[in-house]
């Protein structure tokens, strides 16, 4: 039995049965068997089922909140907005977009068809467990694939609720399987399984490279959403307080365990002192607390190992010459137990420091300064990651000129809000492929080109029509 640990106190709160290799074989075999019939279901019906599943999840909101807050430790009053709302939105927007897709199209004398890729192994992380599972399951199902979902062994409970919601919505047996299991055994075996056609993985860059290497043995498509070390570039004409507040929010929410967190705040040297003062004010106001504390701005990090890693990186920053302006490695006041970390600001950070390059994955903001915008762009791009970023300026056109030069998959300009149907993914070691919107659905299609004699119209040979939508 696998023990689930409450990160608010370090105590066991539940035990679950873990899957093994035999369970993977059984689930994949069932998914292979179920996939053709599911692919034959009209797209409009597959999309409608996603909407029904979203409704089922809304009806299970209380249970869903508990399955997320208990292993994650996120304050209960934040779970719906931080964790669940985005998952429901993805189910519904994926359904909406799917019915607008062009499945068969004519290119010269060819009929280009989009067909389901087959069986998908979806390997989800622990930081946003429901959302990340839905990011994979929703587009794969609507594309006509069957799915074997392996949630993180640290946060497996919400995946069971997701499966129940799909079952209640009418998803046929065998199309979706949930296998709680660890990464080294179950995850690796699933990624390399010869009957899996696509692997969709979200997690650390280190783990992602292992998944890609394992999957490559059978030359299957591999989608990777990995780490980040994203920069918030503040230009000299920006509203400094808004820019700093934006960066601080991203490292406080979910205890900083967010791959898109703007953990590098890059400001003009002349504005660095003011940026530091405001960031300190905001971070000191962000009080950690137990999940039942309605005034807590953040909860603990996921585990003792993660807490120790974050504190170790803070200490490494100090050892390399950075200063702790607020926070640090000591436990937050009144929280001697559990895996809590103080919201921390490191200043005097230089580009070559470890904390400027390694993803900390905790409530830690690093402040770097620059002399001219060219230097700021170089600093922002001087990382092996390229997942997210932000630019702030009093002139939107000027901010856009910087945004175009950032080597990253997403950029927010002057606080532009997140778009749930825009492509999500990264450059460089932040990943391969895209999630969300039509871009995410297209990852689960194979393209087939059928050449028709030149004197015939390819459209006469398509079975795709409005009725099948």
**Whole-number Å distance between alpha carbons of 397 and 102:** 34
DSSP-assigned beta bridge partners for residue 39: none
Residue 225 annotated to the active site: yes
Residue whose C-alpha is closest to residue 115's, from 105, 130, 126, 125: 105
Two tokens, residue 199:
């692997």
C-beta pairs of 373-376 under 8 Å, 24+ apart in sequence = 373/235, 373/402, 376/233, 376/235, 376/266, 376/268, 376/402
Two tokens, residue 423:
């492509």
**Whole-number Å distance between alpha carbons of 182 and 2:** 10
DSSP state of 286: S
Q: Which residues of 254-264 are buried (b: 16+ CB within 10 A; e: fewer)?
A: bbbbbbbbbbb
Cβ atoms 2, 180 nearer than 8 A: yes
Residue 145 annotated to the active site: no
Q: What one-character-per-residue DSSP string does 362-393 give?
A: SSEEEEEEESSHHHHHHHHH-SS--S-EEEE-
Backbone dihedral region for residue 37 (phi beyond 0: left; psi -120 to 50: alpha; all else: beta): alpha
Catalytic site residue from 259, 276, 359, 443: 259
Cβ atoms 114, 104 nearer than 8 A: yes
Residues with Cβ within 8 Å of 404's Cβ and at least 6 positions away in sequence, in order, are: none
Q: Where are the alpha helices (DSSP H) in 170-303?
A: 188-191, 205-216, 240-252, 272-285
Run of H or E residues at 232:
strand 231-234
SS3 content of the chain, % helix, strand, coil (to 5): 45, 20, 35
**Whole-number Å distance between alpha carbons of 335 and 109:** 69
DSSP-assigned beta bridge partners for residue 326: 345
Catalytic site residue from 56, 161, 210, 225: 225
**Whole-number Å distance between alpha carbons of 453 and 69:** 60
Catalytic site positions: 225, 259
């Amino acid at each position: 039995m696998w023990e689930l640990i409450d990160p608010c106190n370090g105590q066991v709160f539940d035990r679950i049965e873990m899957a093994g290799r035999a369970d993977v074989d059984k689930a994949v075999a069932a998914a292979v068997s179920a996939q053709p019939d599911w692919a034959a279901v009209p797209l409009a019906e597959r999309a409608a089922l996603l909407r029904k599943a979203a409704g089922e999840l809304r009806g299970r909101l209380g249970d869903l909140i508990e399955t997320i807050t208990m292993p994650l430790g996120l304050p209960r009053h934040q779970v719906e907005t931080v964790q669940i709302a985005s998952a429901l939105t993805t189910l519904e927007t994926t359904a909406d977009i799917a019915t607008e897709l062009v499945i068969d199209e004519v290119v010269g004398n060819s009929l280009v068809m989009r067909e389901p890729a087959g069986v998908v192994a979806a390997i989800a992380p622990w930081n946003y467990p429901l959302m990340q599972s839905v990011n994979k399951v929703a587009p794969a199902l609507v594309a006509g694939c069957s799915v074997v979902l392996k949630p993180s062994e640290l946060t497996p409970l919400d995946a069971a609720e997701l499966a129940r919601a799909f079952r209640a919505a009418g998803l046929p047996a065998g199309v979706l399987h949930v296998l709680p299991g660890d990464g080294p055994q179950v995850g690796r075996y699933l990624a390399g399984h010869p009957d899996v056609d696509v692997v969709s993985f979200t997690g650390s860059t280190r783990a992602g490279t292992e998944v890609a290497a394992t999957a490559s043995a059978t030359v299957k498509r591999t989608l990777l959403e990995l780490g980040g070390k994203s920069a918030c570039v503040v230009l000299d004409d920006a509203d400094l307080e808004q820019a700093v507040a934006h960066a601080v929010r991203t490292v406080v929410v979910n205890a900083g365990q967010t791959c898109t967190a703007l953990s590098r705040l890059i400001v003009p040297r002349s504005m660095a002192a003011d940026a530091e003062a405001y960031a300190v004010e905001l971070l000191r106001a962000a009080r950690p607390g137990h999940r039942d504390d309605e005034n807590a701005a953040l909860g603990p990090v996921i585990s003792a190992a993660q807490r120790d890693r974050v504190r170790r990186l803070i200490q490494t920053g100090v050892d390399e010459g950075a200063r702790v302006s607020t926070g640090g490695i000591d436990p937050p006041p009144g929280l001697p137990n559990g895996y809590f970390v103080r919201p921390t600001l490191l200043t005097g950070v230089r580009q070559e420091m470890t904390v400027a390059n390694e993803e900390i994955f905790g409530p830690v903001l690093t402040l770097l300064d620059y002399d001219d915008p060219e230097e700021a762009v170089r600093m922002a791009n001087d990382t092996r990651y390229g997942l997210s970023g932000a630019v702030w300026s009093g002139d939107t056109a000027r901010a856009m000129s910087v945004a175009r030069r950032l080597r990253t998959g997403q950029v927010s300009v002057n606080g532009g809000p997140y778009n749930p149907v825009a492509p999500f993914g990264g450059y460089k070691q932040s990943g391969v492929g895209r999630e969300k919107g039509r871009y995410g659905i297209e990852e689960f299609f194979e393209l087939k080109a059928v050449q028709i004699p030149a004197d015939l119209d390819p459209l006469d040979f398509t079975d795709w029509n409005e009725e099948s939508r």
